[in-house]
Amino acid sequence: MLLRIATLFGALAYAQLQSQNTTFNSSYHLTPKQIQAANLSTALVGQVELALNFERSNNAGSLTQFDPFYDLPNGVNQSNLPPYGSILKVEQYTNTTYYTLPATLSMSRFLYVSETLNGSRVVSSAYVLWPYQPRKF
């Protein structure tokens, strides 16, 4: 009996050590020009493609370039951004079916102007999680 239990635990441990599924909802491949420009080894190409396909498969909804929320408002462009901290856009309604949120929360997304490490202005996005009811102490 002890041998059966040990064998079962060994099989379970082995199953947990197997590599994760690499079948993603994306089939991106680096071009030879990209590989040469970055001077990537064959092993590194495989790792980069695996990471990219994983990331693309886990996007909430669609890529940002297809989401109109990320379009800058009229009169705002990347070359002439307002001061740091300026709110550019607040989403009036956020479709939370793309996200895993607790039932007690709602979410709002917004675009604002931030600063890179070198001090240049850049458009950033963020979200706020709002409780439906105030916390009770």
Model pLDDT for residues 45-54, shown as the tens digit of each residue: 888 888 777 7
pLDDT more than 90, % of the chain: 29
Is the CB of residue 52 less than 8 Å from the CB of residue 46? no
Q: What is the pLDDT of residue 128?
A: 93
List, in order, residues 6 or more apart from 52 with CB less than 8 Å away: 26, 28
Q: Is the pTM of this model over 0.85?
A: no
Instruction: Reduce the DSSP state of residue 96 to 3 states and report it.
Output: helix
Question: pLDDT at residue 114 above 70?
Answer: yes
Is the CB of residue 128 less than 8 Å from the CB of residue 108? yes
CA distance 115 to 83: 9
Question: pLDDT at residue 95 above 90?
Answer: no
